[in-house]
Amino acid sequence: MPVETTWDVIVVGAGNAAMCAALSAAEQGAKVLVLEKATREDRGGNSTFTAGGFRFCHDGVEDLRTDILDDMTPGEYDSIGNLPTLSEEQFMEILMRITEHQADEDLGRILIGQSRETMRWMRSHKIRFIPMFGRQSFKIDGKHHFYGGVNIEAVGGGWGLVDMLMQAADRMGIEVLYETGMRELLQDEKGAVTGVRAFGPDGYVNFSAKAVVLACGGFESNPEMRVRYLGPGWELCRVRGTQHNTGDGINAALKIGARPHGGWSSCHAVQWDISAPPYGDRVVLDNFQKHSYPIGVVVNLNGERFIDEGADYRNHTYAKYGKEVMKQPQRTAIQIFDEKTHSMVRDEYRIREVTRATSNTIEELAEKLDINVEGLRQTIDAFNAACQPGEYNPSVLDGVATRGLAVPKSNWALPIDQGPFHGYVVTCGITFTFGGLKIDTEGRVQDLTDKPIPGLYAAGELVGGIFFQNYPGGTGLLNGSVFGRLAGKNAGQRAVG
């Protein structure tokens, strides 16, 4: 335990949102303590498990080269054929469309409007970025053509991001206390938050502070809360990331009268290898995900298709399709590719820990993977018959669609007719929950009368109101960075001002 138990700002959690909040508070001159429930080895929360991909506004590679990608090599630069720009209008349109127009527009405007400046700020703290060559581009005539809006990642992915944030925190003199989980928020008689009660290696400790920033994740790792809010059966999904995000920050704030906000019955969930462990694996990381379904077809154990695999770019559909897999028999689905597209699947399909089968015929593949043989045969025949001629291009919405199917495939619809055929078995992996606390545009947690709770701020996954039903890829980290920076700045100013 530190000798000091009185601080200017306490930040709860040590993921991306928390560390951005801590850096920002320290920039205001505040003495900052970060409390992290996990061990040092398990630090970084879900942020460690990520690819480190960020979605933010920019004007293309020339623009990015001036500040965010300033240490890209000439060879890397020359290998880029196209890296599409992302304007504030485009980003806002995507956010609103994907969240079924439920996203809080004020928070959305901050998220998007401050996205570029926040990336620049992270870079000023020596966080390094590179283009996502491996996962977010297709090679055409030897050059990388990027797509889908998430084209930049932290060097070293999530691990790299967390390590660089921790180094930045060290440079700013921020103290991090591991194995110390917040249990309660402390208040004075007027209702202002005055610190936290935490449980550490030596038992309970009260830490006093002039401001507290909650950034300790959602409730995705709490099966009881999942069932309560997402519905029956959700205790059975896999968790893609940390086991420590059990809703502690949300529960502690609700207990002192914070307002619940956002999409409490929905979450970010993906297609995830059926043999993956209950919680994230810190070596395999996000490679259990199987995200090349737009260039194949997805069936259930009856052999039936149930999603439009080509409805949009992967980055705009992957976060909602895990929930569709949850509804299928035995929460199981099988992604099928034929030889034409199999060579294009993402690297995550080539790991050792993969549940797959290959066969020269569709019938044999069905037998190997326990799919209803006749059902799959009929589905593939109908799908192939519905495919139309067109100019196939996996890096754009090519409009090569099926015609006449109850479940269409709207882009990239090539017949599954060239063996060998490859099947990958997936289930649902939850990433994070969408319901959380209500904050205002200064990052202050709101109470049940829509007034700020003095001294209490929040950022990251535990804030509600930004994502509903679905989520635009690469926005989780950005969300933590933008609102972490904002909450940390205002908490720091309250503390030292």
Q: Which residues bind ligand FAD (CB under 6 A)?
A: 12-18, 35-38, 44-47, 49-53, 181-182, 215-217, 240-242, 244-245, 248, 286, 431-432, 460-461, 474-478, 480
CB of 142 to ligand FAD, least distance (A): 26
Give whichever of 137 and 431 is closer to ligand FAD, judged by the CB atom.
Answer: 431
How large is the angle between the packed helices 157-171 and 16-27, nearest 10 degrees?
20
Give whichever of 409 and 489 is closer to ligand FAD, judged by the CB atom.
Answer: 489
Give whichever of 13 and 263 is closer to ligand FAD, judged by the CB atom.
Answer: 13
Q: From CA 229, how far away is CA 432, in angstroms rounded? A: 13
CB of 47 to ligand FAD, least distance (A): 3
Query: CB 166: neighbour CB atoms within 10 A?
Result: 19
237: left (phi over 0), alpha (psi -120 to 50) or beta: beta
CB of 13 to ligand FAD, least distance (A): 3
Give whichever of 303 and 480 is closer to ligand FAD, judged by the CB atom.
Answer: 480
Give whichever of 217 and 310 is closer to ligand FAD, judged by the CB atom.
Answer: 217
Give whichever of 177 and 298 is closer to ligand FAD, judged by the CB atom.
Answer: 177
Give whichever of 421 and 483 is closer to ligand FAD, judged by the CB atom.
Answer: 483
- Token pair of 268 as six digits: 């970010």
CB of 153 to ligand FAD, least distance (A): 7
Give whichever of 274 and 413 is closer to ligand FAD, judged by the CB atom.
Answer: 274
- The backbone torsions φ and ψ at residue 446, rounded to the nearest 5 degrees and listed phi first, read -90, 145
Q: How many residues does the chain have?
A: 497
Give whichever of 152 and 414 is closer to ligand FAD, judged by the CB atom.
Answer: 152
CB of 383 to ligand FAD, least distance (A): 30
CB of 149 to ligand FAD, least distance (A): 11
CB of 83 to ligand FAD, least distance (A): 17
- Peptide bond preceding 2 in cis form (omega within 30 of 0): no
CB of 242 to ligand FAD, least distance (A): 5
Give whichever of 325 and 477 is closer to ligand FAD, judged by the CB atom.
Answer: 477
Sequence-distant (6+) residues with CB within 8 A of 377 are 303, 362, 363, 366
CB of 181 to ligand FAD, least distance (A): 4
Give whichever of 379 and 431 is closer to ligand FAD, judged by the CB atom.
Answer: 431
Q: From CA 232, how far away is CA 128, in angstroms rounded? A: 42
| Residue 223 near residue 216, CB atoms below 8 Å | no
Which amino acid appears at position 71 of this protein?
D
CB of 201 to ligand FAD, least distance (A): 14
CB of 451 to ligand FAD, least distance (A): 24
- Token pair of 418 as six digits: 């060239």
| Residue 72 near residue 49, CB atoms below 8 Å | no
Q: From CA 79, how far away is CA 88, in angstroms rounded? A: 27
- Token pair of 69 as six digits: 């990608």
Give whichever of 42 and 417 is closer to ligand FAD, judged by the CB atom.
Answer: 42
CB of 158 to ligand FAD, least distance (A): 7
CB of 459 to ligand FAD, least distance (A): 7
Give whichever of 182 and 371 is closer to ligand FAD, judged by the CB atom.
Answer: 182
